[in-house]
Amino acid sequence: MNRAITVLCTLVPSVVLAPAAFAAPPSPADANRVVEYYYSDAGAPVLMNFKLCSGVYEEGPDKNNCLEELDPKSIEQGTDVYIWMKFLVPRDAKASILTQLNHKGITRKTFNRDLDGAIRYRTWHTTQFESPGQWEVAVFHEGVNDVEKLQSITVNVK
């Protein structure tokens, strides 16, 4: 039994203190493109990630990240859904984002959010889908002269 405790005491700190898995570093060219874009005069944000979640971490190392991704093919009517997004926003930009919930060809809800410059700007809206059927969740960037659709997700509500 002492051997088991010794092995456990040796392994637990390495498991608890082990750093989270990191992605492979980008190539120098990719890293340079991101940095150059961030410091450029561009005003358009880059939507890096967009998904539906059950919640958002409120503290800890995952703060502001998606708690659990939901399957858009199977959302229960009346369930709280977090529309979670992650953007790269150029340093001096003031980007305006619109999120639309469309059902049967009609926009049912619209959320507006202004984004400040950031390498990793995470934001979300909490909503519920009131009716069963197919919905579209669409994210737009509203520029000075136009509105550009960045991405959309089709959601099937039961």
**pLDDT (tens digit, 9 = 90+) per residue, 16-70?**
334 456 789 999 999 999 999 999 988 899 999 999 999 999 999 999 999 999 9
**pLDDT (tens digit, 9 = 90+) per residue, 69-123?**
999 999 999 999 999 999 999 999 889 999 999 999 999 999 999 999 999 999 9
For tokens 């092995």, the residue is 7
CATH number at residue 115: 2.20.130.20
Number of domains in the chain: 1
CA triple 86-87-93, angle to 5 deg? 150
pTM (two decimals): 0.82
Three-state secondary structure string covering 69-87: ECCCCCECCCCCEEEEEEE
Structural domain for 85, as ranges: 2-157
